[in-house]
Structure 1
Amino acid sequence: MNTNPLLKGTLQTIILKLLESKDRMYGYEITQKVKEVSEGGIMLTEGALYPALHKLEADGFLETTVEIVDGRARKYYRLTEHGGKEVTSKLKEAQAFIDQLQNLLNLKPAIK
C-alpha cells in the first residue's frame, strides 16, 4: 500500500464504497480499481487488502463466494445488508473528518 499513513484509516471505507458501486469484486480487481480511480496514487498490496477484507467479513459486513475461473478458485466479496448500512455510516464519518481537517488546514496564521 502507498506509504501514506492516512490511507490505513480509510481502507475499510474504500473497500465498502467500491463494493457498494459494484455488486461483487475479487481482491485483485479491488486493487486495480483503486489504482485506476486514484490514477496510480494509491497502490494496495495484498498484505494490506486481505486483512481488511477478512476483518470486514468477520464483522459481518461482507460475504464471500468462491468460483472456479480458468481452472483456479477465485474468491468474490459482496456487501451484506449490514455492510450496506455500514457504507453510509463510514462515509458520513469520513466526510465529517475531512470537513474538520479542512477547517484546521485553512486556519489563517495569527498576525503578530
Structure 2
Amino acid sequence: MDESYVRDSFARLNESRRRLADATRERIAKLSRAVADCERFEKQMADIQQWSAHVSTLLDLRKSGDVSALDVPDEYKVCYLTHFQQEFTLAHPACFPPISFFSASLSFPLVPVRF
C-alpha cells in the first residue's frame, strides 16, 4: 500500500470523526436545553397547580361563609322595610309613604325628602 493513500485515508477518517463529534456535541447541547426547558415548564405548571388549589380553597371558604340572597327569607325583607319606615317616619312623617306588605322589596322608590 502506498503511504500517501494511508495518510489520506487516515486524514479523511479523522475529519469525518471530528465532524461527527461536533454534530454529536451540538445535538447533546440542544437536547440538554430542551430538557432544561421541559423541567422549567414542569416546575411552572406545578406552581400554577399549587396556586390554583390554594385559590380554590380560599374561594370555597369565602363562598361557604357568604350569605346569598337565597339564604335571606322574604320575612326578613319585610321586617327590614318595616323597621326602616318606622325609623324615618318618626323623624319626617310626610316624607315616606306607607309600605305595602304585599309588594315589599329592598328596591322601593323613596319619596324626595321635604323639610
Give the TM-score category using the shorter length. under 0.3
Q: Determine which structure has the larger helix proportion and give its number.
A: 2
Scaled by the length of structure 1, the TM-score of the pair is 0.28
Scaled by the length of structure 2, the TM-score of the pair is 0.27
* Bigger Rg over Cα: 2
